[in-house]
């Protein structure tokens, strides 16, 4: 045909998505879009054009109707399909862009659109479908599933064709009324950059079938000419109407061909439905049939080969398929055909093209042609010329029977053996094509710079063609990037495949670690004589050092390749250069300049001018200074001294890998101690991480149990990718650290962790000088040390931990990662994670405690500073060992589940961890619900079977393992719904019993079938925590319907976590319903005009949902919300603010992630609240507002983010209006929430409440107590954080403060500002201002209750009246300390407020017990059961080998030294430890009590306990009361309240509930629990209740006086026998009563307890101060030094200050101490003070401390340690004496006080008090 070209077309360098968008934008009225990779860009471009205005305010881009395209984002692809359908029936020209699962959601509507013959074009970037795994990459799986819907399908082969076919399809669909689906290969075509010729508007108008447009519009639904569509049809007519459209489809081929011809006449570009290419001189005998970009690969390969035998047929119009059209282009000479499908249809006879070709040949009477079908390119597997030659060689095999059919190409299928072997590399490109490869680091600008290069060359050099294609790691911004670029002096460059090995003229590596660690074979692409450019710090070394440094740092294989291939080698230090010009990290421009200088693709001088022009255009809005700096940087980068040529020495040809370097490269493999994991890492993960995954054979995947998509856990820890573009990691300053663990909680990648270690472990670190540790704070961590370690090879340098540190100065600061690595930081980290896990020592449901739990999500591939990962990490720390996760597709599935890196791991202690799975984007709520509902059903079956087993066997049987197992099963039935780890731990006990009974061949079990059924459901024993997680795109939009359904039912006990980035962050930052008003993002470039969906409020309307809004800036509230959500029996919904890279945080990006969270909360942009339905039943307000105060204007937040600033820049007036609206919305929302939070009490407003309750809480304890108090106080509206209140608001009111202590006396962060305001206030409070403070702290620390005392002092100073003394809640006294202090304070505070004391309703959970049929137990049986109790609490039975009375005989204070033989027991101890002895009640006293108290049972009564007290056998009641219960202990009010519930007489009950009554009984009679039970015998609780009411016996801890070095097999204790006095006389305490009767040969049950004071090293000077038995721990230190000194160890001075009452009677260890002073006087000094020896003059140890020089010498000059041990009266006067002593050393009083306080702050002073 004659082609007439009317004019020269405009050319431009763009990608396939842009090419399609440009065409579809102009030919449609409206587009309905939803983001999905890789098609999202088409919608983004269209949206941006639709909102862009010119200088006159008119739309810059318009369609053929002079109107902008209306772009509408829907909530899902299904929504877009429905909207598209609606637009079409209304007569509009409408389009959409989609891919993959998105296209599948279109399918129901495609049937409708096709059935109604509605013209439209759906543009698809074809992509793989999620099967065994998600793949965002390209193939034809999605479009092939649409082939039966009735749409015509057109394929584009190139970027140019993508533009052209978009136009031709639009013309054809209008002309035929058949909807068209136009597709291109996802990524390969959609993202390839190439030069294209644009079709102008004039040409489009000429081609447009305007009469068909009018026809379509007139078919629209309209009341002007009404009709009905979409009716329901019966069998009698349905089929006929289906067939009625046949003629339309039969006409499509001709219409399409005419459209192609018309297009050719106008543009000169000629296309056919089936493209035929043959480059031989005769006739072909073989045809290759394929579709998409592969057509170009085959065509160019055949052209290069000049094959005589082979032709190629490219399918352009795939549907409707034309058999005649196909056969007409298939030469008659062809006898064999190879079809290539980019999809797999499992179970079919063949893939679609194969089936169509076979059917066509038969219908066209060409049945003699042999057809072999093959698959290629799934998931963007590269399709290369070498693969084409393999296909040719296969189909050319002479014997047809030997031809592989079906076949696969591009892989090694060594299982089913379908794959074809590949031959040598074939490169069909001409020599004038320059091929370049660039290795970059995600976020370093390499890809952006290369795109800019392509654009510069494409725009400037019209005679050149450029092709660019980019590979991205799934690791978000911290992964690798690989740019493939080709340049040619031609108009077209068609090579849709990656640059092949040894073909690149230029290779650049912008990240030196890739070359150093041989991460990638960066020279695999370099051709002989090519150029290699490396960005490396080595370039900044002196010239004489560079070569050696290169040899030491670069992989030997790289050195060898450089030499053997004679590659020209250049280096520069781009990082240092950028930093020098104030553009740290901005290396892209420098590397681009190097590329232009070295590659010569265009003249260098021209390139520099173009680059400077580009810089000016890009950065002009940021000011002239930024432009100038970039220009100067570019000039410097071009200088010869910066771009250094390296002369490659010939010796590099012999470079080889030494064993030392091999060990270094494989150091991560050496860390793996699991054979299964090691096999996976070596065979799968390593090749993939080296970009060699294409070479992995199929068999290895099967051998690694990966069938069906299974993935091994915890592989990310072995990657060691060094994903750190900043080159900085945090450094810990232990002296400023308060061990709050907030830095750990916020770390996105779990690279900074606290470890609880022993002194020996700290000393045993590979590099102990850098393995800094300090004494661990908290009584539960006594004897342990705290260290903070950082993984330098995993840290991304995001700075979040530094920002999160609340201390001043910061306890963290950033330092160079190379310094850390050089000092052994990596070895220290590996050592730390190998140490025993000790998270079980602390409460994991607190902020601090949660961070001691090993994170079971670590080292993910998320962006540096990611705001999502900390939340996921935290839920694994809280619930990880019993949780199941359903994860919606999105960012969290990419960083959380990108093969072969799995950040979800297991506990090395238990082997348990999160079970994680991903289904799709849209169905995640239903997916998770399916998990929950099915497992709930299975668990119910398990419970039923367990009940049957317990009933059948019974609890009284004596059947060995079976009886023990049944007792465990019965216990499980009782606790099975408890949301904790207890069920899991109980199963650990049951498991070996099951195995013994079932798996070992034991046939004595009579209930084996039932046991087997129970065992089959064993995974249901734990109380599973079901979590449904995802991003806002899922929760707010596409998955909202399913989420709403799951949350709507109270019986659905599932937890939902939504990490809200406020946009579709994974697909590039498109708008969602979570996007706020005024944001300029993809799909809302003109500014989002609709405010954000308030999803939390929506779910609160159900009233049975737990709902919380959380943020990392308030980590305590976050932990509390997550724990409450998990514990709530019903659906929960937690939405978390997650800063994202797409938000464009200023100025430091996600390095400011934590501050961004803080700004969001403080401005009210992100409110914090919790809605807990459980509070309603208690009569409390279920809504708790945790951020009640706007502390900054929301504008200050908006100014931090590019998404808001961009709108100001492009549309200032719109921005101002929308941002003002947001400000109003935020304030209105806060007002509404404040009302909601205060509406539960009978106040018309908060102002009517006369009592304010404020809290400052670090871990949430003080907050919880404050809220409980406010609920009980009738005068208070609720509790507020001090940070939410201004000081002026408490003026003239009564305020109750609850204040905890953070670290060493610090005020919790949410109270700091309030205290500052108090201290800064000058004006006194008004009359009527009153207050009281309840303080929480640990009395073992110097700064006990300091924060609370600071508040009290400041309030008094301002004239406020204290209505009740400071309450003291003491955490050091275990459970009763805090509760007792709170109880005592509450007894006074309510009367002080004029209120009745709140009624306390006691709760009793009876002990599960059964009365045995046996009358009596033998002593042996009873002892055995008792031993079970002692074993359960971890004690050992130890013999007394020595009893020595240390005080004068007959003296009223009896100090006894007990020696216990521990050698044969598991009772090893460390210096400074205590021995905890568990006392027993006197058996005779117990018997007397029973005889007087009960006639129903006595000490001989036999009961069976269902594992209560750790006992699972039968036991006598007497044994329980003798060994377990503290029946003769001092009672508390709680016991009387419980006892009173069993008293029927109201008068007696009133007396029992009177607190003064208990006080009198204790004061007058030294009453015990037994006394109260006998006194109130009419209140008769059942035995099961009584066992629960009486507290268990607690161990009494006594400091060990011996040194483990000197006495490893025995311990000595120094114990004062305590005597209590009351009006009726003297009584011994329970422990003292037992101890005073002990004699040699007796035994006691005991266990070692770590001491609260950390022992010194021998080279540290020590001052010991002790009174009475407080000398005990000091004796251990002294004896340890004696032993060391005797054995030749040099020790530093130690002085003992010992005090007691009388020297003659109470000089403990007199002889021994005096002998030591004599023998070891060179280092030991003894000072004594006896207060009662001189009548009228009392001398105490503190008096000696104030005047002796060795205090100043050892503590000030030598920086020694101070140890204090005594009663609570000792520390305060001792501190004053220390200050006096320091003052005499020349210090001022303030300096002396500071020196003393610093000793306690930094752990140099330690105290143990009682």
Closest alpha carbon to 466 in 491, 437, 499: 491
Residue of 101, 125, 143 whose CA lies nearest to 39: 125
Please count the other Cβ atoms lying within 10 Å of the Cβ belonging to residue 1406: 15
Catalytic position from the list 17, 194, 389, 1066: 1066
Q: How far apart are CA 734 and CA 1094, in angstroms?
A: 43
**For this structure, is 37 an active site residue?**
yes
Q: What are phi and psi of 755, to 5 degrees?
A: -125, 135
State the Cα–Cα distance between residues 1437 and 1460, nearest whole angstrom: 10
Contact 1708, 1700 (CB under 8 A): yes
Burial 1348-1368 (b: 16+ CB within 10 A, else e): bbbbbebbeebebeebbebbb
1066 annotated active-site = yes
Rounded-to-integer distance, Cα 569 and Cα 555, Å: 14
For 230, the token pair is 């979409």
Spatial separation of the C-alpha atoms in residues 208 and 69, rounded to whole Å: 17
Tokens encoding 1574 = 């006998």
Relative to beta strand 310-315, strand 286-291 is: parallel
Is there a catalytic annotation at residue 1002?
no
CB 1454 within 8 A of CB 1445: yes
State how far the alpha carbon of 1508 is from the alpha carbons of 967, 1341, 1409, 1428, 1505, in Å. Answer: 10, 35, 8, 11, 6
Q: What are phi and psi of 1022, to 5 degrees?
A: -65, 150
Residues 949 and 1010 sit within 8 Å (Cβ to Cβ):
yes
- Out of 26, 127, 1267, 1679, the active site residue is 127
Active-site entry in 17, 26, 28, 37: 37
Distances (CA, A) of 1197 to 263, 805, 1143, 1191, 1203: 53, 21, 12, 11, 11
Contact predicate 986/966, CB 8 Å: no
Q: Is 272 a catalytic site residue? A: no
Distance CA 1299, CA 1524 (A): 36
Q: Which of 922, 857, 909, 885 is nearest to 79 (CA)?
A: 922
> Cα dihedral angle (261, 266, 268, 273), rounded to 10 degrees?
-20
Which residues contact residue 97 at a Cβ distance below 8 angstroms, ignoring those fewer than 6 apart? Answer: 20, 21, 24, 31, 33, 39, 40, 42, 43, 46, 122, 123, 124, 125
User: Is 303 in a helix, a strand, or coil?
Assistant: helix
C-alpha 776/C-alpha 468 separation (Å) is 56
CB 1506 within 8 A of CB 1515: no
Specify the DSSP element, H or E, that contains 1348.
Answer: helix 1346-1357
d(CA 716, CA 905) in angstroms, rounded, equals 9
Which of the residues 44, 77, 1162, 1208 is marked catalytic? 77
1534 burial type by CB count under 10 A (0-12 exposed, 13-18 middle, 19+ buried): middle
DSSP notation for 1666-1686: EEGGGGHHHHHHHHHHHHHHH
Torsion sign over Cα 1234, 1238, 1243, 1249: negative
- Can you list the positions of beta strands (E) in 1561-1686? 1596-1599, 1610-1616, 1619-1622, 1625-1628, 1643-1649, 1662-1667
- Beta strands at 1662-1667 and 1694-1700: parallel, antiparallel or unpaired: parallel
d(CA 1335, CA 1176): 29
Phi then psi for residue 857, to 5 deg, are -145, 110
Nearest partner of 498 among 452, 545, 437, judged by Cα: 437
779 and 1340 Cβ atoms separated by less than 8 Å = yes
Query: Which residues are part of the catalytic machinery?
Result: 37, 77, 127, 1066
């Amino acid at each position: 045909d004659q082609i007439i070209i009317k004019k020269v077309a405009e050319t431009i360098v763009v990608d396939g998505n842009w090419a399609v968008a440009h065409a579809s934008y102009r030919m449609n009225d409206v587009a309905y879009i939803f983001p999905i990779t890789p098609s999202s860009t088409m919608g983004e471009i269209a949206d941006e054009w639709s909102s862009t205005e010119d200088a006159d305010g008119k739309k810059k881009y318009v369609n053929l109707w002079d109107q902008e395209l209306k772009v509408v984002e829907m909530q899902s692809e299904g929504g877009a399909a429905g909207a598209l359908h609606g637009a079409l029936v209304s007569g509009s020209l409408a389009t959409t862009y989609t891919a993959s699962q998105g296209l599948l959601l279109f399918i129901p509507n495609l049937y409708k659109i096709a059935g109604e013959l509605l013209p439209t074009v759906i543009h698809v970037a074809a992509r793989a479908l999620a099967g065994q795994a998600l793949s965002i990459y390209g193939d034809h799986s999605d479009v092939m599933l649409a082939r039966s819907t009735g749409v015509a399908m057109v394929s584009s082969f190139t970027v140019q064709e993508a533009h052209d076919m978009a136009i031709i399809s639009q013309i054809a669909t209008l002309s035929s009324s058949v909807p068209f689906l136009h597709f291109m290969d996802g990524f390969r075509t959609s993202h390839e950059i190439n030069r294209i010729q644009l079709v102008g508007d004039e040409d489009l108008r000429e081609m447009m079938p305007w009469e068909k447009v009018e026809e379509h519009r007139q078919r629209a639904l309209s009341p002007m000419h009404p009709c009905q569509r979409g009716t329901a049809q019966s069998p009698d007519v349905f089929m006929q109407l289906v067939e009625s459209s046949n003629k339309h489809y039969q006409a499509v081929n001709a219409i399409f061909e005419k459209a192609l011809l018309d297009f050719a006449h106008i543009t000169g570009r000629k296309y056919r439905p089936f493209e035929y290419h043959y480059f031989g001189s005769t006739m072909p005998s073989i045809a290759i049939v394929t579709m998409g970009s592969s057509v170009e690969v085959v065509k160019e390969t055949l052209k290069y080969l000049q094959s005589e035998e082979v032709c190629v047929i490219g399918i352009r119009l795939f549907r409707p398929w034309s058999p005649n059209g196909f056969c007409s282009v298939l030469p008659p000479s062809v006898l064999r055909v190879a079809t290539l499908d980019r999809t797999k249809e499992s179970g079919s006879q063949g893939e679609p093209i194969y089936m169509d070709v076979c059917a066509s040949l038969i219908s066209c009477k060409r049945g003699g042609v042999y057809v072999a079908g093959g698959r290629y390119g799934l998931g963007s597997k590269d399709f290369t010329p070498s693969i084409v030659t393999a296909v040719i060689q296969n189909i050319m095999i002479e014997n047809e029977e030997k031809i592989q059919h079906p076949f696969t190409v591009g892989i090694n299928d060594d299982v089913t053996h379908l794959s074809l072997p590949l031959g040598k590399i074939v490169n069909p490109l001409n020599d004038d094509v320059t091929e370049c490869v660039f290795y970059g680091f995600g976020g370093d600008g390499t890809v952006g710079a290369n795109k800019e290069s392509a654009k510069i060359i494409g725009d400037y050099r019209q005679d050149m063609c450029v092709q660019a294609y980019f590979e991205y790691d799934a690791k978000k911004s911290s992964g690798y990037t690989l740019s493939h670029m080709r340049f040619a002096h031609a108009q077209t460059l068609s090579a849709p495949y990656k640059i092949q090995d040894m073909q690149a003229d230029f290779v650049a590596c912008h990240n030196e670690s890739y070359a150093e660690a041989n991460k990638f074979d960066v020279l695999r692409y370099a051709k002989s004589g090519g150029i290699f450019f490396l960005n490396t710090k080595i370039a900044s070394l002196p010239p004489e050092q560079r070569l050696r440094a290169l040899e030491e740092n670069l992989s030997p294989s790289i050195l060898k390749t450089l030499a053997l291939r004679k590659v020209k080698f250049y280096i520069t230090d781009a990082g240092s250069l950028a930093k020098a010009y104030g553009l740290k990290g901005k290396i892209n421009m420098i590397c681009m300049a190097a590329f232009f200088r070295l590659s010569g693709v265009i003249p260098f001088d021209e390139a520099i001018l173009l680059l400077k022009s580009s810089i000016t255009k890009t950065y002009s809005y940021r000011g002239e200074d930024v432009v100038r700096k970039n220009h100067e940087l570019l000039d410097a980068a071009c200088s010869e001294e910066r771009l250094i040529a390296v002369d490659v020495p010939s010796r590099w040809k012999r470079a080889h890998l030494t064993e030392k370097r091999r060990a270094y490269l494989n150091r991560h493999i050496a860390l793996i101690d699991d054979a299964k994991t090691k096999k996976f890492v070596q065979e799968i993960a390593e090749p993939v991480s080296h970009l060699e995954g294409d070479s992995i054979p199929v068999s290895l995947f099967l051998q690694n149990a990966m069938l069906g998509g299974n993935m091994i856990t915890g592989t990310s820890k072995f990657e060691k990718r060094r994903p750190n573009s900043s080159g900085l990691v945090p450094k810990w300053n232990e002296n400023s650290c308060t061990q709050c663990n907030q830095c750990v909680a916020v770390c996105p990648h779990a690279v900074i962790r606290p470890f609880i270690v022993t002194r020996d472990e700290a000393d045993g670190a590979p590099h102990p000088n850098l393995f800094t540790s300090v004494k661990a704070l908290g009584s539960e961590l006594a004897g342990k040390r705290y260290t903070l370690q950082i993984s330098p090879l995993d840290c991304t340098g995001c700075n979040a931990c530094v920002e999160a540190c609340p201390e001043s100065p910061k306890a963290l600061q950033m330092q160079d990662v190379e310094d850390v690595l050089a000092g052994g930081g990596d070895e220290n980290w590996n050592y730390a994670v190998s140490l025993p896990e000790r998270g079980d020592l602390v409460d994991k449901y607190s902020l601090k405690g949660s961070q001691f739990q090993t994170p079971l999500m670590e080292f993910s591939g998320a962006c540096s500073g990611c705001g999502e990962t900390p939340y996921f990490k935290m839920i694994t720390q809280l619930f990880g060992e019993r949780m199941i996760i359903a994860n919606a597709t999105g960012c969290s599935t990419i960083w959380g589940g990108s093969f072969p890196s799995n950040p979800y791991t297991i506990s090395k202690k238990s082997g348990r961890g999160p079970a994680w799975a991903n289904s799709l984007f849209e169905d995640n709520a239903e997916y998770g619900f399916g998990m929950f509902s099915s497992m709930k059903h299975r668990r119910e079956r398990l419970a039923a079977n367990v009940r049957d087993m317990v009933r059948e066997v019974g609890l009284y049987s004596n059947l060995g393992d079976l009886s023990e197992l049944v007792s465990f099963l019965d216990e499980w039935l009782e606790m099975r719904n408890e949301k904790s780890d207890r069920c899991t731990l109980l199963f650990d006990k049951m498991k070996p019993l099951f195995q013994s009974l079932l798996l070992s061949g034991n046939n004595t079990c009579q209930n084996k079938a039932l046991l087997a059924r129970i065992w089959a459901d064993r995974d249901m024993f734990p109380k599973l925590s079901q979590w449904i997680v995802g991003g806002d795109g899922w929760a707010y939009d596409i998955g909202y319907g399913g989420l709403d359904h799951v949350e709507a039912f109270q019986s659905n006990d599932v937890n939902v976590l939504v990490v809200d980035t406020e946009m579709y962050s994974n697909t590039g930052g498109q708008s969602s319903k979570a996007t706020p008003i005024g944001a300029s993002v993809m799909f809302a470039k003109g500014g989002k005009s609709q405010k954000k969906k308030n999803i939390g409020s929506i779910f609160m309307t159900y009233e049975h949902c737990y709902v919380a809004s959380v943020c990392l800036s308030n980590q305590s509230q976050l932990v509390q919300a997550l724990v409450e959500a998990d514990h709530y029996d019903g659906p929960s919904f937690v939405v978390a603010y997650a800063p994202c890279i797409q938000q464009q945080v200023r100025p430091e990006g996600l390095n400011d992630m934590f501050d961004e969270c803080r700004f969001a909360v403080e401005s009210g942009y992100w409110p914090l609240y919790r809605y807990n339905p459980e509070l309603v039943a208690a009569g409390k307000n279920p809504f708790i507002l945790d951020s009640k105060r706007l502390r900054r204007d929301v504008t200050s937040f908006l100014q931090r983010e590019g998404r808001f600033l961009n709108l100001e820049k492009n549309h200032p007036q719109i921005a101002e209006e929308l941002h003002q609206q947001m400000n109003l919305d935020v304030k209105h929302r806060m007002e509404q929430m404040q009302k909601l939070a205060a509406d539960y009490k009978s106040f018309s407003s908060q102002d009517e409440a006369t009592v304010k309750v404020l809290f400052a809480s670090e871990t949430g304890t003080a907050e919880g107590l404050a809220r409980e108090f406010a609920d009980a106080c009738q005068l208070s509206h609720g509790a507020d954080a001090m940070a939410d209140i201004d000081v002026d608001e408490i003026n003239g009111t009564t305020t109750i403060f609850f204040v905890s202590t953070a670290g060493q006396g610090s005020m919790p962060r949410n109270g700091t500002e309030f205290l500052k305001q108090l201290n800064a206030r000058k004006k006194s409070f008004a009359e009527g201002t009153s207050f009281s403070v309840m303080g929480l702290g640990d009395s073992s620390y110097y700064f006990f209750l300091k924060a609370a005392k600071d508040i009290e002092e400041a309030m008094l100073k301002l004239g406020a009246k204290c209505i009740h003394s400071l309450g003291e809640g003491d955490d050091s006294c275990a459970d009763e300390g805090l509760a007792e202090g709170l109880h005592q304070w509450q007894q006074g505070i309510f009367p002080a407020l004029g209120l009745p004391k709140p009624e306390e309703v006691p709760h009793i959970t009876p002990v599960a017990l059964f009365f045995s049929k046996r009358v009596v137990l033998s002593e042996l049986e009873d002892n055995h059961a008792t031993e079970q109790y002692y074993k359960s609490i971890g004690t050992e039975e130890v013999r007394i080998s020595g009893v020595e009375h240390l005080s004068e005989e007959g003296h009223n204070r009896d100090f006894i030294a007990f020696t216990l033989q521990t050698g044969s027991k598991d009772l090893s101890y460390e210096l400074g430890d205590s021995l905890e002895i568990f006392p027993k009640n006197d058996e005779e006293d117990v018997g007397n009590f029973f005889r007087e108290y009960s006639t129903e049972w006595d000490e001989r009564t036999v009961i069976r306990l269902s594992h209560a007290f750790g006992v699972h056998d039968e036991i006598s009641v007497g044994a329980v009361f003798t060994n377990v219960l503290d029946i003769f202990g001092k009672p508390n009010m709680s016991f009387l309240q419980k006892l009173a519930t069993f008293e029927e007489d109201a008068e007696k009950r009133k007396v029992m509930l009177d607190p003064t009554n208990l006080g009198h009984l204790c004061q007058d009679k030294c009453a015990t629990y037994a006394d109260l039970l006998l006194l109130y015998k009419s209140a008769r609780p059942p035995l099961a209740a009584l066992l629960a009411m009486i507290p268990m016996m607690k161990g009494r801890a006594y400091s060990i006086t011996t040194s483990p070095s000197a006495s490893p097999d025995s311990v000595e204790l120094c114990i004062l026998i305590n005597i209590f006095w009351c009006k009726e006389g003297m009584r011994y305490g329970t422990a003292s009563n037992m101890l005073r009767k002990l004699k040699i040969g007796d035994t006691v049950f005991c266990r070692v307890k770590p001491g609260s004071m950390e022992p010194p090293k021998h080279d540290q000077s020590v001052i010991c101060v002790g009174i009475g038995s407080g000398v005990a721990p000091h004796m251990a230190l002294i004896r340890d030094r004696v032993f060391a000194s005797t054995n030749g160890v040099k020790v530093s001075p130690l002085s003992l200050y010992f005090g007691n009452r009388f020297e003659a009677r109470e000089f403990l260890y007199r002889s021994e101490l005096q002998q030591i002073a004599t023998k070891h006087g060179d280092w030991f000094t003894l000072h004594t003070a006896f207060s009662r020896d001189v009548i009228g003059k009392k001398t105490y140890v503190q008096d000696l401390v104030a005047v002796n020089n060795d205090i100043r010498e050892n503590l000030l000059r030598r920086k020694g340690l101070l140890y204090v041990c005594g009663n609570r009266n000792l520390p305060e006067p001792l501190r004053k004496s220390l200050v006096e002593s320091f003052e005499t050393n020349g210090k001022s009083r303030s300096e002396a006080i500071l020196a003393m306080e610093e000793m306690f702050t930094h752990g140099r002073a330690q105290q143990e008090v009682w």
